[in-house]
Amino acid sequence: MTRQTPSMKKTRNRYSPDFKAEALALANRVGATAAARDLNLQASQLYQ
């Protein structure tokens, strides 16, 4: 197992307000788990 160096840090994703609104609408239609899977997110990332 290799160790990550400081330059290999994962950056935080920034989502636009439009993306967030669409993601919540999708979660309301199909459920948070399915919406998260479709959007490649964790279900815990979908909240109002």
pLDDT at 27: 94
pLDDT per residue rounded down to tens, the chain (48 residues):
566 666 678 888 899 999 999 999 999 999 999 999 999 999 999 887
Alpha carbons 23 and 30: distance in angstroms, whole number:
11
pLDDT in tens, 32-45: 999 999 999 999 99
Residue 43: phi and psi, rounded to 5, are: -60, -30
**Residues 6+ positions from 6 with CB-CB distance below 8 Å:** none
Provide the pLDDT for residue 31. 94
